[in-house]
Amino acid sequence: MLALRLALVTAASVAPAIATAQTATSADTVALSIDVSKPGAKIDRNIFGQFAEHLGTGIYEGVWVGPDSPIPNTRGIRNDVVAALKAIKVPNVRWPGGCFADEYHWRKGIGKTRPATLNPNWGGVIEPNTFGTHEFMDFIGQIGSEAYLSVNIGSGTPQEAAEWLEYLTTDQPTALAIERTANGHPAPYKIPYLGLGNESWDCGGNMTAEYYTRQMTIYSRFVRNFNPAQRDTGKMLRIAVGPGGGESRWTDWTDTVMKAWQGHQWSWDMEGLSLHNYTVIKWPPAYASVGFGEKEYAEILQKTLEMDGLIAKHSAIMDKYDPQKKIALVVDEWGAWYAKLPGSPEGFLAQQNSQRDAVLAALNINIFARRADRVRMANIAQMVNVLQAMILTNKEKMVLTPTYHVFKMYVPFQDATFVPVTFDAGTYTQGTITLPRVDAIAARDAAGTVWMAVTNVDPNRPATITASVAGLTPRAAAGQTLTAPRVDSVNTFEAPTTVAPKPIAARVQGGTVTLSVEPRSVTVISLQP
């Protein structure tokens, strides 16, 4: 009895959409009820966004090798990385930072002669500026993505940022557009997303909420997008710096910015508020990304589930000033932050990526999907070689991480409509930690196919999943599952497919889908009518 109560309480606190509890048919069976007659919000494809900062080998080596490199590349950008990213349909890439953005001066990254500067935030290494504005725009063009630029509010000026946007977007023959043409790009670029600073309460300048809001409104006013193709539709969305936690310092920050927005004049506006939340225990990050046990697995997953409460807290403040949910909550830095890999340079934030991270990624995406009415964009940190990366590279070698596979399996959820799923999650207990044993979301895509994602958090027990769909009789079900021999299994350059998705069979009988999911697994299946 106590176990069942715990299951219901925990599941409800993690998953607000799991409103009613079903009675599990047996200890190892979780019955999902999907209701397509009650569609929710669109799961914006932008919640699958990436973050690529000039940090460690995230850009240099991870993306950019230069046109003269023996590593196969197109105009200096690695072909293997481009092909892998194309396959996960990256909707947007946030660049150039992070903390780096508030010390970035875009003029140093254009033209034939690029000065070497420093990267004081991340190891104090030389920033060669060989990867600049044009190279970034080329890169996102190659992977079929869109630009989310962060402008420098910390150490830059409104004029510098305004000129960057004019350089990028005007189709008029201004001096800046002529310079852009001379640098190889006559057509204006599209910039759909603009970040107004980064962590301005900390590395972005230690500002108070009031001071930041004054600065931000000036940038919002003057940093214009002139691209005629973005004048009426596809207008650039401006994302203000938001909170970095749940304490009163952060709730006050959200309150201050949102209050200012509610009373704003015609002369400035914003369309998004950011939220940064890493899964990290202890600071500086001390948990290892490899060679850990079940205790650390459970602790990290418990920590990551705090994302839901954090979003709920800040959404409630936003609702006060913006009940129509015009302002998106943009979780533009999230993911696991572990201790640096032994032997890796200070400030490079190099870590491995295990099956634990695959489960962690699925749990967070599920949270964003359930809160899709407010969370309309998110960016995992970071895309290549840094923190919870999709891809790791070492010279000519590349390996796809377990997190990459989750992003690929979830592609059908991009822009699909959320549909509610009710279930009794059951419990998984490790020491003093009790977590929901299973998590699940469902969505319907534009073609009418219903997709279901099931995460079995329990690292020891498989689970039998049954799914019935009100309003649809599934006749076939097919999908993929991702599991691994251990919670700390990783892919390496020598063994790149230890963690790789494989097909999963599901039985369909009388409209009910039944499948068995392995321990510590993420499964995505489609239900065909």
Q: Which of 216, 381, 399, 472 binds ligand AHR (CB under 6 A)?
A: 381
CA gap 64, 73 in Å, rounded: 8
Nearer CB in complex with ligand AHR: 199/255: 199
Rounded to a whole number of angstroms, the minimum distance from the CB of residue 242 to ligand AHR is 12
Site size toward ligand AHR (CB under 6 A) is 10
CB neighbour list of residue 57: distance below 8 Å, 6 or more residues apart: 348, 350, 384, 385, 386, 393
Rounded to a whole number of angstroms, the minimum distance from the CB of residue 347 to ligand AHR is 10
Binding residues for ligand AHR restricted to 19-58, rule: CB under 6 A: 53
Binding residues for ligand AHR restricted to 129-168, rule: CB under 6 A: none
Nearer CB in complex with ligand AHR: 217/382: 382
Amino acid at 468: S
Q: Does 199 bind ligand AHR (CB under 6 A)?
A: yes
Which residues are known catalytic residues? 199, 333
CA gap 31, 23 in Å, rounded: 8
Nearer CB in complex with ligand AHR: 50/481: 50
Helix (H) or strand (E) holding 495: none
Nearer CB in complex with ligand AHR: 129/382: 382
CA gap 374, 384 in Å, rounded: 28
Residue nearest to ligand AHR (CB): 98
Q: Spell 466-486 as b/e; 16+ CB within 10 A means b.
A: bbbbeebebeebebbbbbbeb
Nearer CB in complex with ligand AHR: 240/517: 240
Reduced 3-state DSSP string for 188-256: CCCCCEEEECCCCCCCCCCCCHHHHHHHHHHHHHHCCCCCHHHCCCCCCEEEECCCCCCCHHHHHHHHH
Binding residues for ligand AHR restricted to 82-111, rule: CB under 6 A: 97-99
Helix (H, G, I), strand (E, B) or coil at 330: strand
Q: Which of 127, 135, 333, 357 binds ligand AHR (CB under 6 A)?
A: 333
CA gap 501, 479 in Å, rounded: 10
Rounded to a whole number of angstroms, the minimum distance from the CB of residue 121 to ligand AHR is 7
DSSP lists the bridge partners of residue 118 as: 126
Please choose, out of 6-14, 130-138, 379-387, 478-486, the segment that lies near ligand AHR by the rule CB under 6 A.
379-387
CA gap 295, 278 in Å, rounded: 19
Q: Which of 50, 119, 152, 198 binds ligand AHR (CB under 6 A)?
A: 198
Please choose, out of 282-290, 303-311, 316-324, 380-388, the segment that lies near ligand AHR by the rule CB under 6 A.
380-388
* Binding interface with ligand AHR (CB under 6 A): 53, 97-99, 198-199, 333, 381-382, 387
